[in-house]
Structure formats: C-alpha cells, structure tokens
Amino acid sequence: MTLVEQWNAIESGLDPNWGDARLALTLDSEAAAERAAALLGPAAPGRFGRTIRFFAARGGTGVGPEAVRRMLRRIDAEKLGGSLELVASDQAPPEPAITRTSLAGEWDAALALLPADWSDLYCEIELTSTDHLDRAALLLSPLNPARFGGTPGYRFRCARSFGYGTSPEMVRRCFERLDDGNIPGEVRILRALSDTHPAGTQGPVWHVGGRTV
C-alpha cells in the first residue's frame, strides 16, 4: 500500500470534527528517512532515526490534509517505501485561528533538514493560483526562475558558496517579498548535492525531464 493510500485510510477513519492528526512515518532505511524528511519540509517534521513525526491540521497552523497528500505522493514517486501511522488526533476548536506559514519560514525549515555540507540545490516554489505567476516571476527574478511542467510555480537553483544558482540568503529575501505581497505557495527542495568541487566548470548540472537545469 502506498503512503498516499495509507493516509487516505487514516483520514477516512478520523472523527468528522478532527482538528489535527499527529503522524509517524517510518522508512526502511536512514538514507530514505533523510530524503523523506526533506520532502516533508513544509510540515516542519521531527526525525528520530528512521522515523519522522509531523502533523496535519485543518483550519489552523500546520499543513492541511491535501498538502500532506501531495508530499506523500512525492515520497511514493521516489519509491522510498515506509509505513504511516496515526499517533493521536484532536478535535477542532470551535473557532480555530487561521494562519499561514511564511514562505521564508518554509525555506528556513527546509534548509535546516539538509546535511551540514550541502552545496547545491534544485528547488521549486509552487503557487496556489496561476493568477500569481506574473507577479511572482518579477519578485523572484534574482533566482532566474523557470517554469516546468503544469505546476503553477517556478523552479530555480541555489548554490551555497560558488557555482550556478542564487545564494540561500537571496532566496530567502525573494520569498520574503512574496510573503509581503500576500502570494501563498509551497517551497520544496527537489534535489541536493553536498561538498561539490567543480573542476573546469562552474558547478554541477542536473538533467530533469530531458532538460539540463
């Protein structure tokens, strides 16, 4: 059973008035757990060995059930394997406070999950609506953002100290501009390299979907 199917089964068994669900995802290996934690970055997960803990929330802080489904679908796509279980669930309060995690905060959380010697990243910002594409492209221009596939958003590269890509500090500043402009979305690190040492080139390249990025 895929992780998405496991989440669907858990969600269907929750109380109709559930407010948040605390979940534990156990992977088959520590390497898989490290990668899955990066894919779950927007949920601000906590990792203990091969087990990752995070929560889904409705009408409050944290990621919603659909966002959880999207993140688990990406883990399934990489065939990491694992088991998802419900740890606990709370009923929603009568009038929940509605807040949105900032994109800059999501970026900080995603970087915190990377190895200490990371050097190059290939990332994606997915917007909630195509209405924001033009404005976001302007605010993200220092990242050299590129459209990819049908997702309403952009992909870009980040380099920690040299090579292709924008610095992580400038990436954060661009996300702050989106936050200030009330442009919501979701930040993802799609690929990461550590401790690269280019020889005769400015840095590594990735081949994704038949394209060099």
- Mean pLDDT calculated for residue range 90-113: 73
Q: Is the pLDDT of residue 98 over 60?
A: no
Q: What is the pLDDT of residue 8?
A: 94
**CATH architecture assigned to 103-212:** 2-Layer Sandwich (3.30)
Q: What is the mean pLDDT of residues 116-125?
A: 92
Spell out the residues 6+ positions from residue 188 whose beta carbon is closer than 8 angstroms to its own: 39, 41, 42, 74, 110, 123, 124, 125, 126
Residue 203 in this model has a pLDDT that exceeds 90: no
* Structural domain spans, the chain: 3-91, 103-212
Is the Cβ–Cβ distance between 19 and 96 less than 8 Å? yes
CATH topology identical between 3-91 and 103-212: yes
Per the document, the length of the chain is 213
Q: Would you tell me how many other CB atoms lie within 10 Å of the CB of residue 53? A: 16
First CA to last CA across the chain, in angstroms?
33
64 has pLDDT over 90 = no
How many Å separate Cα 15 from the centre of its chain? Answer: 27
Condensed to tens digits (0 to 9), the pLDDT of residues 147-199 reads: 988 889 999 999 988 778 899 999 999 999 999 999 999 999 998 888 777 76
Residue 11 predicted with pLDDT over 70: yes
**What is the reported pLDDT for 137?**
95
Pick the CATH number of 3-91 from 3.30.70, 1.10.10, 3.40.50, 3.40.1350: 3.30.70
